Amino acid sequence: MKAIRVKQLRQGNPSIALETVDDPVITHPQEVIVKVLAVGLDGTDKEILQEKYGVPPQGEDDLTTGHESLGVVAEAGAESGFQAGDLVTAIVRRPCRNQSCVNCRNGHSDFCQTGEFVERGIKGAHGFLSEYYREDGRYLVQVPTDLLEHGVLVEPQSIVEKVWDQVLRVQQRLIWEPKTALVLGSGPLGLLAAITCRLLGLDVYVWSRSPQDSLQAKLVKDCGGVYQTADEDGGLTAYAEGLGKPIDFVLECTGFSPLAFEAMAVLAPNGVLALLGVTPADRKLEISSDMLNQSMVLENKCVIGSVNAARKDFETAIYRLQQMERVYPGWLDRLVTNRMKLEAVPKLDFASIPIKAVVDIVPVEQWRGLVKQTNEVEYSFSV
Ligand code: BGC
Ligand code: ZN
């Protein structure tokens, strides 16, 4: 089968190639072979394809990339819980093997304590940018067929669902009635965060570098949010002051670390700042540490970092994407600005992607014929 491989990740001079690799075969009755329909690309893939990130499986030199997947079960092991024709996506992270890691032992490898986890397509395990993959049924999530067109967005949306779940848990410390959310960044994650906050009933402001007449700005407006192009001079503090209202919830989705510190200062008393982005760099910053410390302590503020997502977050993501399509029809289609074939990936220029790229392994017209139609999905596994 064909697969996109980042080659020789450990030996220098890496390159990206469309390779022919062995077809996966079932080796255990719990396993499933999935035929991949589509894979979404995000910032992590950009880093990996630009050879700044990514770890191949142990003992190998190359890594098949891709972690945002939508596929259809081609062959199901007798004990997998799946059937041929089921529409599925896969959780990205696999638990570490360390018996002392209570989170991995309880279905929460997204909170792995040892760092010995692997992530498909990212760290220590091949990903999904290939015609097929093999997976243990426990790590697959069934997607209802009415979400066929947008199922490839379940993984990125799971990142938003995880952080919202975390924020709700943290805020059980008080009576919290959030009214206003500020999203920093208007990439796929920022935009999904913005529309999610709208669906949660919040007033949403998005502050980012894209111009005022960009598609990003239009998408924010079309889900009822307010968009503002980041002003080089004034900065975030001036913008937030100008809003003239308390900002209960800030989602930092740019990964530009100086903004994380500026955001602490603009947060309302009792508010939460969620950090979701990273850009690999070595920035150093001079900050008003006393002022920040004082406002964090005296105003009960909270900063929370969040990575990856668990099965339940994937399941909530399915619910939320269906809600998005119902309340703002067509919005998700506009988020996906680029579709391409597997063959185009090695030459891909990320700078040419306005928002989100999806690689169609199987042409979209053929999807419906491969999938067994069902919206009766039972979510039975707890891993
Ligand atoms: C993925 C996460 C992963 C993270 C760090 C993100 O792009 O969506 O699943 O944990 O990268 O590797
Ligand atoms: Zn662990």
Condensed to tens digits (0 to 9), the pLDDT of residues 313-353 reads 999 999 999 999 999 999 999 999 999 999 999 999 999 99
Mean pLDDT over 191-200 rounds to: 98
Contact 128, 136 (CB under 8 A): no
In 3D, which of 275, 246, 244 has the Cα closest to residue 259? 275
In 3D, which of 151, 157, 82, 91 has the Cα closest to residue 368? 151
Contact 121, 92 (CB under 8 A): yes
Pocket test for ligand 1, best of 68, 103, 307, 314 (most atoms within 8 A of CB): 307
Mean pLDDT over 299-315 rounds to: 98
Per-residue confidence (pLDDT) for residue 380, from 0 to 100: 56
The domain ranges of the chain are 2-155+328-370, 175-299
| Ligand 1 atom with the shortest distance to the CA of 92 | 9
Collect residues with CB below 5 Å from ion ligand 2: 96, 101, 104, 112, 114
* pLDDT band for position 10 (cuts 50, 70, 90): low
State in Å: Cα 295 to ligand 1 middle: 31
Question: What is the DSSP pairing of strand 2-7 with strand 63-64?
Answer: antiparallel
Mean pLDDT over 297-325 rounds to: 98
Tokens representing residue 328 in the block? 């703002």
Take atom 12 of ligand 1 and give the residue whose Cα is closest: 122
Mean pLDDT over 303-318 rounds to: 98
First to last CA, the chain: 29
Contact 95, 119 (CB under 8 A): no
State in Å: Cα 344 to ligand 1 middle: 23
Per-residue pLDDT tens digits for 75-119: 999 999 999 999 999 999 999 999 999 999 999 999 999 999 999
State in Å: Cα 123 to ligand 1 middle: 10
* pLDDT band for position 280 (cuts 50, 70, 90): confident
Rounded to whole angstroms, how far apart are CA atoms 332 and 353? Answer: 16
Q: Which residues line ligand 1 (CB under 6 A)?
A: 42, 44, 67, 92-93, 119, 122, 159, 307-308
Rounded to whole angstroms, how far apart are CA atoms 364 and 383? Answer: 31
State in Å: Cα 108 to ligand 1 middle: 14
Question: How many CA atoms within 13 Å lie on the side-chain side of 236?
Answer: 25
Per-residue confidence (pLDDT) for residue 51, from 0 to 100: 75
Rounded to whole angstroms, how far apart are CA atoms 283 and 229? Answer: 23
Look at residue 383 and tell me whether its pLDDT is greater than 50. no
Q: What percent of the chain has pLDDT over 70?
A: 97
Cα dist from 329 to 56, 229, 326, whole Å? 39, 25, 6
Look at residue 186 and tell me whether its pLDDT is greater than 80. yes
Question: Which ligand minimizes its atom distance to the CA of 93?
Answer: 1
Rounded to whole angstroms, how far apart are CA atoms 334 and 95? Answer: 35
Phi, psi of 326 (to 5 degrees): -70, -45
Query: Which residues have C-beta within 8 Å of that of residue 59, sequence separation ≥ 6?
Result: none
Pocket test for ligand 1, best of 45, 89, 110, 159 (most atoms within 8 A of CB): 159
Mean pLDDT over 341-369 rounds to: 97
Question: Which ligand minimizes its atom distance to the CA of 305?
Answer: 1
Same fold, 2-155+328-370 and 175-299: no
Does the domain formed by 2-155+328-370 have CATH 1.10.3720.10? no
Query: How does DSSP assign 78-131, residue by residue?
Result: TTSS--TT-EEEE-SEE----TT-TTGGGT-GGG-SSS--EEETTBEE--S-BS
Q: Which of 38-52, 191-205, 252-266, 313-327 has the lowest mean pLDDT?
A: 38-52
Q: Say which amino acid occupies 237.
A: T
Residue 196: how many CB atoms within 10 A of its CB? 26
- Report the interhelical angle of 257-266 vs 289-298 (nearest 10°): 50
In 3D, which of 260, 81, 279 has the Cα closest to residue 182? 260
Contact 63, 15 (CB under 8 A): no
Question: Which ligand minimizes its atom distance to the CA of 89?
Answer: 1
Look at residue 74 and tell me whether its pLDDT is greater than 60. yes
> What average pLDDT does the structure give for the chain?
95
State in Å: Cα 124 to ligand 1 middle: 13
| Ligand 1 atom with the shortest distance to the CA of 155 | 8
Bridge partners for 180 per DSSP: 203
Per-residue pLDDT tens digits for 115-147: 999 999 999 999 999 999 999 999 999 999 999
* pLDDT band for position 12 (cuts 50, 70, 90): low
Tokens representing residue 117 in the block? 């986890």
Question: Which ligand minimizes its atom distance to the CA of 121?
Answer: 1
Per-residue pLDDT tens digits for 198-212: 999 999 999 999 999
Mean pLDDT over 227-232 rounds to: 89
Pocket test for ligand 1, best of 63, 154, 308, 313 (most atoms within 8 A of CB): 308
Per-residue confidence (pLDDT) for residue 159, from 0 to 100: 98
Take atom 10 of ligand 1 and give the residue whose Cα is closest: 308
State in Å: Cα 299 to ligand 1 middle: 32
What's the CATH number for 175-299? 3.40.50.720
State in Å: Cα 298 to ligand 1 middle: 34
Take atom 6 of ligand 1 and give the residue whose Cα is closest: 44
